[in-house]
Amino acid sequence: MLEIEYDIDELTTLMYVKEEHHFCFENKHWITAVELNIGDKILARSGAVASIIAVTKVDIRHPDALLVSKLKDVKLSHNHHFFVTKNPNSALDVSCEQAPNDPLELIPYELANKPSYLPSGEPTGHHSGPWVAAGYINELGEQIVGWGRADDEKCAEDAAIIDLKSKVEDAAKLNQTNVTISHAYIRKYSKRGRLINKMSPCTHCRDNYGNALNDKTVGDSNLVKTGRDFLKTK
């Protein structure tokens, strides 16, 4: 077993993997854990890049008290599931679709990709999301972005627009021609593992947001929610 220390998104943490576990280099080449060196960069499922700080071989057959404590930490013992891997052999070790290149799309994708585990380390089976982001460029050329998650009162599109309106000085200026609304992203578990799916907006969101939506298809929904919002056509 290897203890790998790495930093990612300004966070320094650990993960534990077998020596033969595959990671994906930043240049998209495969490498096994035992071949990693300090300074190597590997890809996370979200598209982020992690830098290797240290690789230490540990004996889990006769672990000391500190190692036992680390291995009992659910977060540390499951961190390797967040990285792109090869030939997955568990429900969580799945190769991830390429993260979106569009910065606006990447926000809800990464929010949906955040893990959800029970204290035992088992996946909850519950999806995360759907999440949506909405962007607006003001008169100064600055992009303002709002985002949100669906709940019992509102769709994710509504949540994103409500958040965006709270961040701009004059929400009355927002309309379907100057606001862009991302696809909706949702995480769920299946027999294939943890997946990030896109969801089309429902008929109600189509009526309220029209051409501001990136997704031009329409999902099926007969739910009328109390937290609905809207954008002017122009």
**Residue 218 one-letter amino acid:** V
CA pair distance 157, 154, nearest whole angstrom: 8
Q: What is the 3-state secondary structure (H, E, C) of 172-215?
A: HHCECCCEEECCEEEEEEECCEEEEEEECCCHHHHHHHHHHECC
Tens-place pLDDT, residues 157-196: 999 999 999 999 999 999 999 999 999 988 876 555 566 7
Looking at per-residue confidence, does 159 or 8 come out higher?
159
Q: How far, in Å, CA of 208 to CA of 212, rounded?
A: 9
How far apart are alpha carbons 58 and 37 in whole angstroms? 16
Model confidence at 42: pLDDT above 80: yes
Question: What is the DSSP secondary structure assignment for residue 232, as one 8-state letter?
Answer: B
Q: What is the pTM of this model?
A: 0.58
| Structure tokens belonging to residue 70 | 């680390």
- Bigger pLDDT: 180 vs 43: 180
Spatial CB neighbours of 100, under 8 Å, sequence gap ≥ 6: 47, 106, 109
Please state whether beta strands 11-17 and 143-149 pair in parallel, antiparallel, or not at all (unpaired): unpaired
Give per-residue pLDDT as tens, 91-148: 443 434 567 778 899 889 888 877 666 666 666 666 678 899 999 998 888 899 999 9
